Amino acid sequence: MAGKSKEDAQATRDILLDSAEQIFYSKGFARTTLMDVATHANLTRGAIYWHFKNKVDLFIAMVDRVKLPIESLVDACGDENEPDPLGKLRIFSIDLLIRLASDKQLQRVFSVMLHKFEYNGDVGPIEARQSAAYQEFLSRMERTYRQAIKCGQLSADVDIKLAAATENAYFTGIISNWLLYPTSFDLRERAAILVDNFLYMLTNSPFLRMPKID
């Protein structure tokens, strides 16, 4: 009986998260109420409070079900013993874009985070989560670039901090623009070209080099 109750509780939690994902996507974070989510799930507000402390807690749990773009790259990169760091980065980045092109859940959650979330009001925990994920991304990418320098894939004078910030802006921008206008280009078909364009910039752009000291 206890096992069944635990399964029922998990099923209810999943229903609430599915409903939250749909409502946040259609109405945005600020305009969504817990009653909206409960009504969509055919449950009561009490059911929500049994599983989640508040709307922020519900939102974070919804996001945690998937990996955001920079978090996904963090998981794939940063191994200080990787013999082909840029090759690994290339493969994973292409796979991420191709997956996004066909995964509707990823599209909804990324759209909510990038286009339908307002950084105002009592959203400190969400801001803190995003800040921590961004800082971890920068740290992992810097380690990836150091390993690439060690392996001879990058010039020793690459500004790794600037490169990491540029990578985040580049891929977040592509994903954000495609989610707004998915018919503007075929993300699956262009995934490899988009990734290779960034890697070319990373390895060749003089503007990603440390300034020379006379």
| Domain range 66-208, CATH architecture | Orthogonal Bundle (1.10)
Query: What pLDDT is recorded for position 118?
Result: 81
CATH node for 2-63: 1.10.10.60
Where in the sequence of the chain do the CATH 1.10.357.10 domains occur?
Answer: 66-208
Distance CA 25, CA 32 (A): 9
- Least confident range of 15-29, 109-123, 184-198: 109-123
How many other C-beta atoms lie within 10 A of the C-beta of residue 131?
A: 10
Q: Where in the chain is the domain with CATH 1.10.10.60?
A: 2-63
pLDDT of residue 1: 39
Residue-level pLDDT at 66:
80
pLDDT, mean over the chain: 89
Mean pLDDT on 183-210:
96
Q: For 115-139, what is the mean pLDDT? A: 84
Q: Is the pLDDT of residue 214 over 70?
A: no
Kindly tell me if the per-residue pLDDT of 71 is higher than 80.
no
Token pair belonging to 160? 């790794």
Alpha-carbon separation of residue 168 from 1, 75, 164, 180 (angstroms): 48, 14, 6, 18
Please answer whether residues 89 and 144 qualify as being in contact, where contact means their C-beta atoms are separated by less than 8 angstroms: yes
